[in-house]
Amino acid sequence: MKIINFGSINIDHVYEVEHFVQPGETLNSESYTVFGGGKGANQSISLARAKAKVLHAGQVGEDGIWLKEKLQKSGVDTSLIKTVDTPTGHAVIQVNKDGENAIIIHGGANRTLSDDTIDEVLKSAQNQDFLLLQNETNAVESILLKSKDKNLTVIFNPAPLTDAIKNYPLELVDIFILNEIEAQTLTNENSTDAILHAMQKLYPKSRIILTLGKSGVIYADNTRQIKVPALKVKAIDTTGAGDTFIGYFLAELSRGSEIKKCLEMGVKASALCVTRKGAADSIPKLEEITAF
Ligand code: RIB
């Protein structure tokens, strides 16, 4: 069984700032670094570092070949990553004194996926494989529809949340992994209980994992809820923490572990991730989690 991650690959331009730039303000940054990133690529690297079998499908431009190599070196199967004429997607990321971030993305090559490419990727999917999607590529709706008859476990991380998502065939999603802001927008509810109730009413067959930052994570399905608290660490840069959680959670799930263990692995991995700078580069290895 493998995990196919059909997702974005970005060049992250990261600026450390005193505070997030305000409307009309010009702000000096304290440092500037280029990192590998993209929610898709980060999640694939997290899966690979957690020792899951992951095949990343996506696109880069000529300027992003180093990212494909980075994924490969991390243990990701990159045979379905195409190099196309459009420049690689990128992100402009501000990181403030508290380690929080503010991110602008430009889709670039991530948003030029064709029908042929989608068909080719899905051809490599076998019964019971996991299919992981985020919302940084084009054609998410089409991938969901095309995956319907393949008997895959479909996991959707609706990030970034856009208005269009509400029209996707979300009833085809087996597992949602989303943060509070995404869930609030999707359900028009505010409290955690109301959000979970609304999600289960909207998607009764799906399992929901709601990440709550410093308050931990909640899993909910038709029969039960499981909450795991966050670990207390000094956050330097929270970029990629959600992606790290997803990779470790799914790697453990693909090994057939109990949900509580899967959540705990994700929580530990993301706690370590926020103590380091960058997205992909800050994702810990499995040995580090075991020692943590
Ligand atoms: O989740 C973090 C990621 O969001 C960054 O790496 C950036 O590329 C954006 O996609």
pLDDT digits (tens, 9 = 90+) for 102-153: 999 999 999 999 999 999 999 999 999 999 999 999 999 999 999 988 999 9
Helices (H), 100-207: 115-123, 140-146, 180-187, 192-202
pLDDT at 291 over 90: no
Residue of 12, 129, 243, 281 marked active site: 243
Distance between CA atoms of residues 128 and 3, nearest Å: 9
243 C-beta closer than 6 A to ligand 1: yes
Write out the CATH class of domain 3-291: alpha beta
182 C-beta closer than 6 A to ligand 1: no
* Residues in a beta bridge with 176: 156, 208
243 annotated active-site: yes
134 C-beta closer than 6 A to ligand 1: no
Ligand 1 center–CA 222 separation, angstroms: 31
Of 243, 82, 58, 65, nearest in space to 138 by CA:
58
pLDDT at 290 over 90: no
The CA-based angle 193-198-201, given to 5 degrees, is 125
Atom of ligand 1 nearest to the CA of 136: 10
pLDDT in tens, 157-189: 999 999 999 999 999 999 999 999 999 999 999
Q: How confident is the model at residue 292 (pLDDT cuts 50, 70, 90)?
A: confident
Q: What is the pLDDT at residue 44?
A: 98
Q: How confident is the model at residue 17 (pLDDT cuts 50, 70, 90)?
A: very high
Distance between CA atoms of residues 242 and 9, nearest Å: 16
Proportion of the chain above pLDDT 70, given as a percent: 100
Ligand 1, atom 10, lies closest to the CA of: 38
- Residue 34: both structure tokens together: 């280029």
136 C-beta closer than 6 A to ligand 1: yes
Q: Residue range 91-107: average pLDDT?
A: 96
Ligand 1 center–CA 91 separation, angstroms: 7
105 C-beta closer than 6 A to ligand 1: yes
110-127 burial, b for 16+ CB within 10 Å, e for fewer? Answer: bbbbeeebbeebbeebee
pLDDT at 262 over 90: yes
Ligand 1 center–CA 15 separation, angstroms: 14
Ligand 1 mutation pick, 34, 105, 111, max ligand atoms within 8 A of CB: 105
